[in-house]
Amino acid sequence: MSDSHERALKALERRGRLRALQPRSGIDFSSNDYLGLAASPELAEAVAAALDRGVAIGAGGSRLLRGNDPEHEVLEAEAAAFFGAEGCLYFGGGFLANYALFSTLPARGDLVVHDALIHASVIDGMRAGKAAIASAAHNDAESFETAIRQWRAAGGTGRPWIAVESLYSMDGDQAPLTDLVAIARRHDGVLVVDEAHATGVLGPDGRGLAHALEGSSDVISLHTCGKALGVSGALLLAPRAMRDFLVNRARPFIYATAPSPLMAAAVRAALGLVRTGPGRRQRLAKLVAFAGRELERSCGIAPSGSHIQPVVLGADERAVSVAKALVAEGFDVRAVRPPTVPEGTARLRISLTLNAGEDATARMLDTLATILARVPA
């Protein structure tokens, strides 16, 4: 390792921001496996059945070479029908899909206005693209409108793109999608909605918070498969012309080995479980309501109302100390620090999943209250 890398790591350590991989331990309050599907017997059986019928594990090449497997195409057709879009493209992950989208579709002369708390994959994709970039205040529709108007007033003549998450991964709050799509349409723009943390959980049949907008010529959505669906990859839903443009121009799609055909089969099975089995969503909704009441009772903290509950602690050191204390008590809760979240908002990100029931949730929150009382602000 070079001296500069060593110095940089030591500087991160001094600031309390050195990252390291940690093994799984304790009861799950940190994963995105919201419906508890990742280790479910239903998905295990679906994968075994796919192997039995000869589905390949590896693709063997990019989709434009020999890697285009029938499982990819069947998944894309079924997903487009399920979510109500013209076209679908299956990527190996959500980061890759967002990077491909924002580095390819917005053109030179266009503007991408993104929520201030948008995911890093969108930020990196925009930076690699050709369009101008502007940030809007979090969940403030008027801020998006102002950014577009200022760009037009300065001579902008291209197309505006609005980039948001439907449910934010670190705050658990929802975007004002009705207002945002109206703004996009007033300015002949496109609304791009990352449904990563809503897919499978929210909306009719788990189709997400933007379900009523799917299929519109000015709306693109991204549904990741590695969270509530319990598998991996990402489904980019878009008008057919945009989907086909990505096939022809998106470097992360063209030059990457195709996702595993076996995983495509697993995603199909997960979508089937979500579509036909509302029981898991109903159990999670009940758990979210229970946890919200317990959080207010034990900690005096207002709930987010979703399966993502932040506990903002401010200082990096306090967030890390509280998380370590919870892990020592058998609860897998992780601290999230800048730059993932804004400066001064280091937090615990409590994730509610069907991997932990009401009893475990109540015990975790009571333990959290005790720890917060003894770890000073």
CA–CA distance, 64 with 67 (Å, rounded to integer): 7
Residue 32 appears among annotated catalytic residues? yes
Residue of 234, 227, 230 whose CA lies nearest to 83: 234
Contacts of 119 (CB under 8 A, 6+ apart): 94, 98, 165, 169, 194, 196
- Which of 169, 216, 232, 355 does the annotation list as catalytic? 169
- Which of 40, 76, 103, 119 does the annotation list as catalytic? 119
- Which of 28, 71, 76, 165 does the annotation list as catalytic? 165
Strand partners, 192: 163, 220
Residue 119 appears among annotated catalytic residues? yes
Residue 10 appears among annotated catalytic residues? no
Show the tokens assigned to 193. Answer: 């909605």
- Which of 197, 211, 223, 307 does the annotation list as catalytic? 197
Assess contact for 191 and 213: CB atoms under 8 A: yes
Residue 68 appears among annotated catalytic residues? no
Backbone angle region of 355, left / alpha / beta, with phi > 0 → left and psi within -120 to 50 → alpha: alpha
- Which of 227, 306, 307, 321 does the annotation list as catalytic? 227
Assess contact for 100 and 63: CB atoms under 8 A: no
Residues in the chain: 377
- Which of 32, 40, 232, 321 does the annotation list as catalytic? 32
Residue 114 appears among annotated catalytic residues? no
Residue 197 appears among annotated catalytic residues? yes
Residue ranges of E strands in the chain:
27-28, 87-91, 111-115, 132-136, 160-165, 190-194, 219-224, 234-238, 308-314, 331-332, 334-336, 346-351
Q: Which residues are catalytic?
A: 32, 119, 165, 169, 194, 197, 227
